[in-house]
């Protein structure tokens, strides 16, 4: 029988039945397990001589994982296959006197680190300028100040939400100081940092603060208030930013972290100073900041073509 149509062994069918009746996995998940076991069956059947999957050893499993990689499967797909195989052999050892788990020490190739998404400078200006109208109402002025501050200072969502209009002895963990053009925030690991506020963001903040007094009710401290006079929630900011980006015609799923990524990417492109960007972002390790260097590959290639003696065209 061809490997592609070879039926699963009885032990694999019993294992799948166990997943269905005892663990009550969904139809979709069961189908995924069956697919991965069928792949294992096909790989073992292609060996000469063919080996029953119950008798496979770790060397064969490693070879099969390498074959999947050679076929173009990514690290996550290979990890999913190994996980399904590992579960089968664990069950086999517990309930059917299997010889052991040949997948126990087999690891998939490392997945590449996903690059943060950043807007282009044109898209960023399109987003930020979309709130500037002659008939802007207070809520638009508030939102414009929020978006400008995100991009100006690279704040995390939680850091921006926690900002007070000024330092207060009640225990501010973040506050605005427009006189010095700075915000102080408390980030991950309870680490405090002070970052500058750009001129455009400072102007937007002053415009918002001029109308903010009409929103204050019981708590005078939060910099950004809801229409009920409470500290504005992160969820509301996320929803309003996404809707604003759609209205502005920005072809991306824009959320607060996109503006933080855009801040870091654009600043790095302009300055090339990785250490400074690390400090502004509040990264404990330079490795977390280095990912932004990958975003700037096109610019680096252009610099290389223009500057390297062997790259310059006459």
Only one residue has tokens 């100073």, namely 273
Answer for the pair 127, 252: CB distance below 8 angstroms, yes or no.
no
CB atoms within 10 A of CB 96: 12
pLDDT at 93: 86
Instruction: Say whether 276 sits in a helix, a strand or coil.
Output: helix
Quote the CA–CA distance of 89 and 82 in Å, as a whole number: 11
DSSP string, 150-218: HHHH---HHHHHT-BSS--TTT-SSEEETTTTEEEEE-GGG-EEEEE--HHHHHHHHHHHHHHGGG-SS
The confidence band for 266, taking pLDDT boundaries of 50, 70 and 90, is: confident
> Residue 268 corresponds to which tokens in the numbers above?
């790095």
| % of the chain at pLDDT higher than 90 | 47
The confidence band for 3, taking pLDDT boundaries of 50, 70 and 90, is: very low
Quote the CA–CA distance of 151 and 263 in Å, as a whole number: 5
Residue 3 is classified by DSSP as G
Helices (H), the chain: 10-21, 27-45, 58-70, 75-95, 121-129, 138-153, 157-161, 199-212, 234-247, 256-271, 274-281, 286-295, 297-307
238 prior amide bond cis, ω within 30: no
Q: Indicate if the pLDDT at residue 1 is higher than 50.
A: no
Only one residue has tokens 């932004």, namely 292
Quote the CA–CA distance of 260 and 239 in Å, as a whole number: 16
Lowest mean pLDDT segment, chosen from 26-30, 62-66, 135-139, 218-222: 135-139
Quote the CA–CA distance of 304 and 312 in Å, as a whole number: 9
Active-site residue set: 156, 188, 257, 260, 283, 292
pLDDT at 283: 82
Quote the CA–CA distance of 69 and 108 in Å, as a whole number: 9
Q: Which residue has the higher pLDDT, 233 or 100?
A: 233
The confidence band for 118, taking pLDDT boundaries of 50, 70 and 90, is: confident
Quote the CA–CA distance of 153 and 144 in Å, as a whole number: 14
Per-residue pLDDT tens over the stretch 214-236: 999 999 999 999 999 999 999 99
Per-residue pLDDT tens over the stretch 40-74: 999 988 887 877 888 888 888 888 888 888 888 88
């Amino acid at each position: 029988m061809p490997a592609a149509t070879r039926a699963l062994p009885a032990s694999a069918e019993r294992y799948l039945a166990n997943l269905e009746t005892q663990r009550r996995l969904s139809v979709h998940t069961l189908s995924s397990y069956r697919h991965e076991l069928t792949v294992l069956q096909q790989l073992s059947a292609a060996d000469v001589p063919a080996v029953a999957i119950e008798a496979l050893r770790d060397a064969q499993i490693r070879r099969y994982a390498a074959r999947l990689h050679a076929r173009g499967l990514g690290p996550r797909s290979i990890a999913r296959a190994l996980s399904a195989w590992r579960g089968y052999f664990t069950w086999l050892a517990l309930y059917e006197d299997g010889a052991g788990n040949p997948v126990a020490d087999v690891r998939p190739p490392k997945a590449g680190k996903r690059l943060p998404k950043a807007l282009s400078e044109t898209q960023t200006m399109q987003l930020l300028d979309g709130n500037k109208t002659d008939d802007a109402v207070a809520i638009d002025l508030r939102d414009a100040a929020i978006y400008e501050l995100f991009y100006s200072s690279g704040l995390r969502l939680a850091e921006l939400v926690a900002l007070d209009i000024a330092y207060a002895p009640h225990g501010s963990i973040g506050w605005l100081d427009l006189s010095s053009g700075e915000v102080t925030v408390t980030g991950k690991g309870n680490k405090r940092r002070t970052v500058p506020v750009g001129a455009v963001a400072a102007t937007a903040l002053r415009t918002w603060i001029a109308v903010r007094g009409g929103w204050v009710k019981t708590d005078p401290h939060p910099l950004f208030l809801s229409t009920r006079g409470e500290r504005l929630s992160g969820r509301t900011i996320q929803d309003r930013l996404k809707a604003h980006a759609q209205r502005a015609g920005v072809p991306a799923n824009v959320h607060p972290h996109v503006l933080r990524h855009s801040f870091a990417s654009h600043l790095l492109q302009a300055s090339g100073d990785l250490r400074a960007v690390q400090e502004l972002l509040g990264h404990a390790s330079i490795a977390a900041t280095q990912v932004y260097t990958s975003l700037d590959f096109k610019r680096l290639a252009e610099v290389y073509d223009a500057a390297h003696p062997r790259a310059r065209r006459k």
